[in-house]
Every structure is written in C-alpha cells, then in structure tokens.
C-alpha cells in the first residue's frame, strides 16, 4: 500500500491514474480543499450548498484526474484543475441563466396574453362554466338556465354561445342586437353560475 501523504501532487496524480485508490483520491481532495472554498466564494450565485459544490468539485477532480497527462503538459495539475473547475462551474451558471431566461420568457408571454381583453373575457366565461362538479351537473345547470331566458333573441344568442358559432343573419341591425344579446346572456350566465 502506498503512502499518499508523503507524495507530491504530480506523483500522487500519476499513481492514481494507474491505480485507482479511494484513500489516494481523498488525499488529493484534501489537498485542493482551499481551491474548492475559493471557488465556492467566487461562484456563490450558483445557489449550491457547500456540500453540493464540494460534490461537484470532486466529480470535476475525478474527470481532471482521468484526462490530465503529467508528461507533455506545461502546467501543473493544480492549474489544470482550477481552470477545468472554473469552466465546469461556468457551464452550470450558464445553464441556470438559460433556465431563468426560458422561465421569464414563458411568463412574459402568459402575462401579455392575460392582458388581451378577449382572452380575459373567454377565460372568465369558461372558468365559470367549469366550476360545476361534473359534466352532468353542468349540463343540468345549462339546461335550466336556458329556460330562464326571457326572449327568443336571448335563447338564440345562448345557443350561439354554447355552439361556438354565430347565427347566419346578414342584417346589420340584427347583428348588433345579437351581439348585445350575447353580452347580456354571458352576464346572466355568470350570475347564474355564482
């Protein structure tokens, strides 16, 4: 068994690349704990707890250990590790910013749609329609409401609202009357459903 505490960092890295030893990896993690804490302070906006960040750094350390070539590199393992961990944490930060941007964009689209007057009217109308406990109660309620309407014009407007289309009347005066009748029926239906 090797004495990992007595080895310098480069020798320890080479030994761990050839022989995967848990104690050696723990020793390497302990040597770079100050780097982990400095990076935790630098990347505080990632909203990682210290344990989560240390776990992420250990994963990064393991990846660096696999990729680092001691011979032929002009930099030390510590410099290589620091650069790789910074890139890894920057990737996490970019991912979080992307998720925030997507969330913000979706909510802005919803807010824009909610300010649309027609959208609000339809939303109120349909949300009130679906307050009934089940389809049978809703059907009974709508049938009873149809009998409460005073005029033939309101009954036709009510039928148009339920079917989702307008009656085929070409007369301008009749179109205005139907529009007003539909508005009255919607208001009466909202009151009736409350």
pLDDT digits (tens, 9 = 90+) for 26-82: 888 888 888 888 888 887 777 777 788 888 888 998 888 888 887 766 778 888 888
What's the rounded Cα separation, in Å, for the pair 165 and 71? 78
* Residue 47 CB-density burial (10 A; 0-12 exposed, 13-18 middle, 19+ buried): exposed
153 Cβ partners below 8 Å, 6+ apart? Answer: 177, 178, 181
> Locate tokens 């780097």: which residue?
35
Average pLDDT score, the chain: 76
Per the structure block, which two tokens stand in for 174? 């009749």
In this prediction, residue 9 carries a pLDDT of: 80
């Amino acid at each position: 068994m090797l004495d990992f505490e007595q080895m310098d960092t480069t020798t320890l890295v080479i030994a761990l690349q050839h022989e995967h030893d848990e104690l050696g990896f723990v020793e390497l993690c302990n040597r770079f704990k100050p780097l982990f804490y400095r990076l935790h302070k630098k990347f505080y906006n990632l909203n990682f707890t210290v344990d989560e960040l240390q776990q992420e750094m250990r994963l990064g350390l393991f990846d660096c250990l696999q990729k680092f070539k001691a011979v032929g590199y002009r930099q030390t393992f510590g410099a290589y590790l620091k650069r790789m961990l910074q890139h890894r944490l920057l990737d996490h930060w970019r991912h979080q910013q992307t998720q925030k941007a997507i969330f913000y964009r979706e909510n802005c689209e919803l807010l824009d749609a909610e300010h649309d007057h027609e959208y609000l009217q339809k939303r109120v109308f349909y949300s009130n329609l679906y307050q009934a406990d089940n389809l049978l109660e809703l059907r009974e309620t709508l049938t009873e409401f149809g009998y409460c309407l005073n005029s033939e014009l309101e009954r036709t407007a009510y039928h148009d609202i339920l079917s989702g289309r307008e009656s085929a009347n070409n007369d301008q005066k009749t179109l205005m009357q139907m529009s007003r009748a539909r508005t009255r029926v919607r208001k009466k239906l909202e009151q009736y459903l409350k």
